[in-house]
Structure 1
Amino acid sequence: MSMTFLASKDNAKIKHLRALIEQNQYRKKHQQTVLEGTHLCLAWLQTHKNLVSLFTTEAALEHPDLEKIQEQYQGQIFIISESLYKDLSTLGTSLACLAIIDIPKHAQTVDLTVDTLILDDVQDPGNVGTLLRSAAAANVKQIICTKGVAALWSPRVLRAGMGAQFSLLCFENADLSLLLPDFKIPVYVTSSHRSESLYAQNLSKPCVWILGNEGQGASEYALTHAKAVAIPQPGGQESLNVAIAGSICLFEMVRQRQ
């Protein structure tokens, strides 16, 4: 294992790392992203995938979590100063660990017969990551996102999802009009303005869930081409956060199948 000290923020390796952290188009161009924190790095390595490169500080190298990563990663480690790490990091006070990975590619096509979560213009990275984490926990493996959804492999969504992406089959920039008519299973969309209750549905078989934009809710196309259901809210709130609403739907499905 080789270690290289990098002192300048103008170093080409540092510029590449910073651009991957900050720019979605740059991530798309290079098909790479950044894992921040030892939890994500260890979760990634546990899926038998490789890190492209690892950036940390001299002090962090002695931490047990970094030692675990070094046991599984035999590539190059770049040592940077504490001040440079703080300048790059989006986590604030955390153990210094930034890893570049190649964004996974897959040849699969959408399976029209399995449990699926569709995110339709859900823009907040925290909401998207939370929904991916809930989907993975509920054993929903297929995720489909329309064009307006926060990038699934951005550092912020990766952190919010706690690495849920690593076990999911993800499709981005999808067109609902080309997908929904072909599904062979029931398709549901959440809407706080519909009277039919989530709890009146039979969710014992595979189904599709559509969750819409934080402000506007589900699109007209989704409401027209899917069965709209509401989550009862006896406390009288106008609506629920989309990540909470989606998690409730997914785990009502799990409850019915137990």
Structure 2
Amino acid sequence: MPIKTISSAHNNDLKDLSRLLQNARDRRKSGLMVLEGIHLATASLEAGGELTALYINAEASAHPEIVQLVASVGERVAVSYITPGVFAKVTALTSAPELLALARRPVPERPAAHVSRLLLEDIQDPGNLGTILRSAAASGVNEVFLSKGCVDVYSPKVLRAGMGAHFVLNLHEAADLEAVLNDFNGSKLVTALDGAVSLYSQDLTGPVAFVFGNEGSGVSTALQALAPARIKIPMPGQAESLNVAMAATVCLFERVRQLEAQAG
């Protein structure tokens, strides 16, 4: 495909790009996501993702990683260079990234049986969700189920916070979390402030389903009823609770600690 130069914010391609950046409904309908910056675009490709378009800040056109990226996608991907002033109008970031890339939203594979998983109910803050995904990827829990009430997992803010975690996880959107828990045969753990059992008293060396809920209301009573173990993270300090992303990280890495201890 020929490389284009775009110097007007009224360009139809840029208008479509702006809509995808701002509107979750348009992203879902199109089956696309917008990747901001070299790191996310490269991480997507390395994981086997499919880019459909590259919009490059003309000021960064000679950047070695951009030159390499353009060469690697060849003629499969439409490439456009955007003049700096116009590029800055498209992205909401204070400091414009080197590029924006359009990519196909991955289609999740059938979840593997008897492996640990993460269930997320109505997580609303993009930063929280991205951080949770990053911790899941780092801890080796790759099956993630998100309720319909979660913020768009492929929103630009969640993608930025995830730092590439999306591309190594099996993400199941709009999942029926009650059905997922019912079908799971391992340990089922729900975090709750009034949970009677300490996280550190639980055996996490087998398959585990961790359930985390909305920042304000926590895990719904319906899901709590399906999980025999209501757990809490001991907090000897003065804070009343942990941010959901921090709580998830503590739980995920307690599992890692126990597995490391078991391995000797």
Give TM-score, length-normalised by structure 2: 0.93
Deviation at 1:112, TM superposition (A): 4.5
Is 1:88 aligned with 2:60?
no
Structure 2 partner of 1:233: 235
**Aligned-partner Cα distance in 2 for 1:30–1:41:** 18
1:23-57 Cα shifts (integer Å, max 9, x gaps)? 11101111011100111011112123332110012
Larger mean Cα displacement after TM superposition, 214-223 or 201-210: 214-223
Structure 2 partner of 1:194: 195
Structure 1 partner of 2:72: 72
**Aligned-partner Cα distance in 1 for 2:113–2:206:** 13
Structure 2 partner of 1:204: 205
The one-letter amino acid of 2:239's match is Q
Structure 1 partner of 2:161: 160
The one-letter amino acid of 1:115's match is S
Larger mean Cα displacement after TM superposition, 226-235 or 57-66: 57-66
8 Å CA contact retained: 1:144, 1:174: yes
The one-letter amino acid of 1:70's match is V
Structure 2 partner of 1:144: 145
Deviation at 1:159, TM superposition (A): 0.7
1:144-170 Cα shifts (integer Å, max 9, x gaps)? 011111111111111110111101111
Deviation at 1:15, TM superposition (A): 1.1
**Aligned-partner Cα distance in 2 for 1:67–1:175:** 43
Structure 2 partner of 1:213: 214
8 Å CA contact retained: 2:36, 2:97: no
Structure 1 partner of 2:224: 223
8 Å CA contact retained: 1:45, 1:72: no
8 Å CA contact retained: 2:146, 2:173: yes
**Aligned-partner Cα distance in 2 for 1:58–1:175:** 44
1:208-228 Cα shifts (integer Å, max 9, x gaps)? 000011011111112211111
Superposition map of 1:40-119 within 5 A: 40-74=40-74, 75-106=77-108, 108-119=109-120
1:99-157 Cα shifts (integer Å, max 9, x gaps)? 00111124x33444211000011111110010011001111110001111111111111
Structure 2 partner of 1:249: 251
**Aligned-partner Cα distance in 2 for 1:8–1:83:** 9
Give TM-score, length-normalised by structure 1: 0.95
The one-letter amino acid of 1:248's match is V
**Aligned-partner Cα distance in 2 for 1:61–1:159:** 22
**Aligned-partner Cα distance in 2 for 1:174–1:126:** 21
Structure 2 partner of 1:121: 122
RMSD (Å), alpha carbons? 1.4
**Aligned-partner Cα distance in 1 for 2:113–2:215:** 26
**Aligned-partner Cα distance in 1 for 2:201–2:126:** 31
**Aligned-partner Cα distance in 2 for 1:23–1:252:** 37
Gaps of 5+ in 2: none
The one-letter amino acid of 2:189's match is Y
Larger mean Cα displacement after TM superposition, 226-235 or 38-47: 38-47
SS in 2 for 1:117: strand
**Aligned-partner Cα distance in 2 for 1:90–1:37:** 13
8 Å CA contact retained: 1:112, 1:182: no
**Aligned-partner Cα distance in 2 for 1:43–1:110:** 22
Aligned length: 257
Deviation at 1:174, TM superposition (A): 1.5
SS in 2 for 1:55: strand
The one-letter amino acid of 2:252's match is L
Deviation at 1:186, TM superposition (A): 0.8
Gaps of 5+ in 1: none
